[in-house]
Chains A and B, each alone.
Chain A
Amino acid sequence: MIKLPEPVEDVVVNLLRLANTKLPMDIGWALEAAAGWETNEIAYSQLGAIMDNVKKAEHIGRPMCQDTGIPVFYVRGRFDSTISDSIRAGLERATKEIPLRPNTVDPLTRENPGNNLGQGMPIIHFIPTADDFTEITVLPKGAGSENMTRLGMLNPADGEAGIKRFVIDAVLDAGGRPCPPSIVGVGIGGTSDVCVAMAKEALLQPIDEENDDPVLNRLEGELFQSLNSSGLGPMGLGGSTTVLAVRIKKAYCHTASLPVAVNIGCWATRRASAKISDSGVEYSQGVKL
């Protein structure tokens, strides 16, 4: 068994607290910048209310949004099979201590166990690497934005234009439901399942960093421009701040396929990471898988 400097259960409680009470700095800056250029009065008031709420939540140490979501975990580096149990224990404790809203229910009976657990929960993705640290990342995903997820198995002939149309329609058809201004996670390629997973992982990338891939970087910029010229605005009430960023991840796909997925992150795209090494635990809120 791998010996860690701090019990994983405690690290998970800390991570959930950090993610839910403190908005990542890059998103806070993007909101401030948006408030600076927004000329629509209602839109400006919505951005102001969001920023005000973020400050209060951080100050009193409470979740910034009542929908503390379904926490999606990513575990990278070295780990053993006991880590799942520790994550579950940490989530159950955090639900009581922070507190988080008990969100998980049986999909058919809608029965709620009250502890954010249940069959298949929480969702944990494992990425084994040869590194000598364990990195645990959490992305609490609220339903307002998650429910707007779209997967399109486009035809290769649809090309870049088809991808853009698909993303723009997904964001604009969602309207005010996912609490815009949003961060738009896009997956291009892979198989259907991988494509949707990439769209969600894209939400973990800091929004003040350029995409390493020049083509994706250009596409992100173009989509950002058109979405913010759409007029949808914060909460779908009009204005020029519909998205704070577009983030894209890609993977190779079958020669006959062009999968595209959109996973919207609301303004409250919460994330936190802990890098656990022999020398201690380092927490951060800007991660790249």
Chain B
Amino acid sequence: MITLPLDEKTARSLKLGETVYLSGPVVTGRDEMHLRAMSLPDESIPDDLKGAVLFHCGPIMSRRDDGSWAVIAAGPTTSARMNSVEAGFIRRFGIRAIIGKGGMSEEVSEAMRETGCVYLAATGGAAISLAEGLSKCKGCEWEDLGMAEAMWRFDTSRFGPFIVAMDSEGGSLYRNVTESLVRDY
């Protein structure tokens, strides 16, 4: 169990293949959120994003009668879609961990190694189990992007399980698997 926010030392101590659970603040972000944040000057960036744990996720949310938000389902989205912006994003905002599915490019792996960030693999589609760990929604930023693309802020408790699939030393389970794939035509 890791208590967030994550510091560089803890991020760097996480080993490839290790299973972790998280507790503390997490924000969501997909394609449009990355583009929005990267287009804005520093003073317009929400504080939650700095040094954040970023969950590649477009949740299903439902507004309660009192105006607060309830999470219905929240699993990871395909991280590779963010490959082209993520390295710059990690460097600019000091992202400490990314939760997603499918892994990311060598360029992102390099940014993670440089800054001390890890990639945590969530089970794709396990949206109900993962939502159980999102204990409270603290609202959202950039709601105009739509439910899936907005940046949602959550408090988490025993959120997971995740597998450290890319570590901060440049290691990657995806690379290991890809390099030993057998193509039996």
> Which residue of chain B is the closest to A227 with respect to CB atoms?
B184
CA distance A272 to B88 in the complex (A): 43
Q: A interface, by DSSP: helix, strand, loop or mixed?
A: loop
**Please, which residues of chain B bring their CB within 8 A of the CB of A164?**
185
Interface flags for B47-80 (1: CB within 8 Å of A; 0: not) read 0000000000111101000000000111101101
- A66-B102 in contact given A52-B129, A53-B125 (Cβ < 8 Å): no
- A238-B176 in contact given A62-B73, A179-B125 (Cβ < 8 Å): yes
Cβ-defined contact, B123 with A66, below 8 A: no
Count of A residues near B, CB < 8 Å?
55
Of A102, A176, A225, which one neighbours B103 at CB under 8 angstroms?
A176
| B110 proximal to A (CB < 8 A) | no
| A68 proximal to B (CB < 8 A) | yes
**Please, which residues of chain B bring their CB within 8 A of the CB of A238?**
173, 176-177
| B163 proximal to A (CB < 8 A) | yes
Cβ-defined contact, A65 with B103, below 8 A: no
CA distance A105 to B127 in the complex (A): 22
**Please, which residues of chain B bring their CB within 8 A of the CB of A169?**
183
Cβ-defined contact, B124 with A101, below 8 A: no
Interface flags for B126-144 (1: CB within 8 Å of A; 0: not) read 1111000000000000000
Cβ-defined contact, A68 with B126, below 8 A: no
Cβ-defined contact, A66 with B60, below 8 A: yes
**Please, which residues of chain B bring their CB within 8 A of the CB of A75?**
none
**Please, which residues of chain A bring their CB within 8 A of the CB of B169?**
none
| B147 proximal to A (CB < 8 A) | yes
- A230-B60 in contact given A50-B126, A63-B72 (Cβ < 8 Å): no
Interface residues of B in 134-185 (CB under 8 A from A): 146-149, 161, 163, 165, 173-174, 176-178, 180-185
Name which of B17, B80, B177, B183 has the most chain A CB atoms within 10 A of its CB: B177
Of A42, A60, A101, A266, which one neighbours B148 at CB under 8 angstroms?
A101
**Please, which residues of chain A bring their CB within 8 A of the CB of B19?**
45
* Tally of contacts, chain A with chain B, CB under 8 A: 158
> Which residue of chain B is the closest to A226 with respect to CB atoms?
B184
**Please, which residues of chain A bring their CB within 8 A of the CB of B75?**
65-67
Cβ-defined contact, B146 with A60, below 8 A: no
Q: How far is the CB of A82 from chain B (nearest CB, A)?
A: 30
| A168 proximal to B (CB < 8 A) | yes
Interface residues of A in 92-109 (CB under 8 A from B): 99-103, 105
Cβ-defined contact, B125 with A64, below 8 A: yes
| B8 proximal to A (CB < 8 A) | no
Of A53, A100, A110, A114, which one neighbours B129 at CB under 8 angstroms?
A53
**Please, which residues of chain B bring their CB within 8 A of the CB of A102?**
146-148
**Please, which residues of chain A bring their CB within 8 A of the CB of B125?**
50, 53, 64-65, 67, 179, 266-268
Instruction: Show 15 residue pairs from A and B whose CB-CB distance is below 8 angstroms, ordered by the A residue.
Output: A63-B60, A64-B73, A67-B125, A68-B60, A168-B185, A169-B183, A176-B102, A176-B121, A178-B78, A231-B177, A231-B180, A233-B177, A236-B102, A237-B165, A266-B124
- Known contacts A176-B101, A236-B102, A268-B125; 9 additional CB pairs below 8 A are A53-B127, A110-B32, A165-B185, A175-B178, A176-B103, A176-B174, A177-B101, A230-B184, A267-B125
Residues of A within 8 A of B (CB): 42, 45-46, 49-50, 52-53, 56-57, 60, 62-68, 99-103, 105, 110, 112, 114, 143-144, 147, 161, 164-165, 168-169, 172, 175-179, 225-226, 229-238, 266-268
